[in-house]
Chains A and B, each alone.
Chain A
Amino acid sequence: MNEIYTLKINGTEHQVKDAWVGESLLYVLRERLGLPGAKGACEQGECGSCTVFLDGSAVCSCLVLAASATESDIATVEGLQPDGSLTDVQQAFIDEGAVQCGFCTPGLVMAVHHLLDENPSPSELEVKEALSGNICRCTGYGRIFAAVDKVIADRNK
């Protein structure tokens, strides 16, 4: 059965129509609402490339039943800077060469923002643990950690 439901994403209400209600939030964002920032790879919560914020928690949007999130505040990578400019985390990823194919980048950017919002001065272990759910198969992580270190240093200047 299909029904109409409304999702609040990046502060804006979006109606989802003519969609199967078993769809994941990731699918709805990308295929129904034209928000392709969150990436789909594993569809089972292993890779983190679909990370979004749900009521302030960083979660895998592939594991959220979209129709169950009608009362939640959803934030995606598109909402980090509504004017389209880059956040300090995104800029640091570019500056430090932390982007290669770029597929994992939106999920990692979300995970880094969430980490630094909760903990502005994380230890190396805390950074690694916070990013342990985001898989990158290009960089080997060294440049990603360098980008995180740059943000921490710049913010604490």
Chain B
Amino acid sequence: MTVHIPHSLEEALELLDKDNSAALLSGGTDFMVEVNFNHRRPENVISLKQVNELSTWTIDSKKQHIFIGSGVTHHELETGTIAQYLPALAQASRTVGSPQIRAAGTIGGNLGTCSPAGDTLPVLSAMNATVHLASAHQSRSISFDEFMVGPKRSNRQPNEIITGVSVAVPNGWQGYAKVGVRNAMVISVASACLQVHNGEVSIALGSVGPTVIRCREAEKWANSLGAHPLSVSSDDAKHFGELVGSESRPIDDHRSTASYRRHAVGILATRLLQRSSQ
């Protein structure tokens, strides 16, 4: 194994171009578990930690658009000034692992691993985030929903590095909710992010399908109620939760059962819609 420590994106992309099988290392919180347990032993590792251009976020002068570099940590998303613009992303980041994990783990790592349980991913989906990728030869940008294609499978090509993600700052409410067996150090059993932007509701689910799931039918129904925020009756909120539950595609596994997940994610959706209208 050889560990490369590039200091610029250009240098990192050139290294990756020479060996597409090289492992990309960011916070290490997923990668090192696999190495420690002998599940992975790559020939080449490209550490992205010293590529400073990946580790910052920026906001435009009108405070409407944010670009988040792939090396921005969960700790920064949770506690930095970015949290005031993207509260659901801050909430989701706060539920990742422990303070030690959040200090190391990055949003780019969450995208790169692309687990259906990745806490920031439903937030990116609900915000219609754009994922930015670069290779030594070209750059491209795709929607989050195109990016995530399956459990731990993304549209990233072997010669590409995720450079960051861009989102519109919502002009309405946004929030994240998660069910797990504890309050800390827990991988989600079900999660959901709901946001209101330009009067329209969007909602995306985590851990209840092979990918993050956007609930297009539930959104259509919620948006037929009128422009949000509106005062949503408890029956409406309950119906919304049922619609969301029926759009989930959960499985039974070691963390939970499909039926509990479908039930729980519906409850989360009901609560989020109620919170958005308070």
* A43/B37 in contact, CB under 8 A: yes
Contact with B along A12-52 (1 / 0, CB 8 A): 00000000111010000000000000000001111010010
* B28/A22 in contact, CB under 8 A: no
A71 at the interface (CB under 8 A from B): yes
Once A21-B2, A43-B37 are accepted as A-B contacts, the answer to whether A65 and B98 lie under 8 Å apart by CB is no
Contact with A along B37-56 (1 / 0, CB 8 A): 10001000101011000000
- Docked pose: A43 CA to B38 CA in angstroms: 11
- Specify which chain A residues have a CB less than 8 angstroms from the CB of B32 in the assembled complex: 24, 45, 62-65
- Specify which chain B residues have a CB less than 8 angstroms from the CB of A100 in the assembled complex: none
A95 at the interface (CB under 8 A from B): no
- A-B pairs with beta carbons under 8 A, tally: 96
Q: Give the segment of B100-108, B211-219, B245-253 that binds chain A.
A: B100-108
- Specify which chain B residues have a CB less than 8 angstroms from the CB of A87 in the assembled complex: none
- Specify which chain A residues have a CB less than 8 angstroms from the CB of B103 in the assembled complex: 57-59
Chain B: number of interface residues, binned into ranges: 20 to 34
- Docked pose: A1 CA to B1 CA in angstroms: 5
- Docked pose: A21 CA to B33 CA in angstroms: 15
* A67/B36 in contact, CB under 8 A: no
A139 at the interface (CB under 8 A from B): no
- Docked pose: A22 CA to B36 CA in angstroms: 8
- Specify which chain B residues have a CB less than 8 angstroms from the CB of A1 in the assembled complex: 1-2
- Specify which chain A residues have a CB less than 8 angstroms from the CB of B35 in the assembled complex: 22, 24, 65
Binding site for A on B (CB under 8 A): 1-3, 5, 25, 27-29, 31-33, 35-37, 41, 45, 47, 49-50, 75, 97-101, 103-104, 183-185
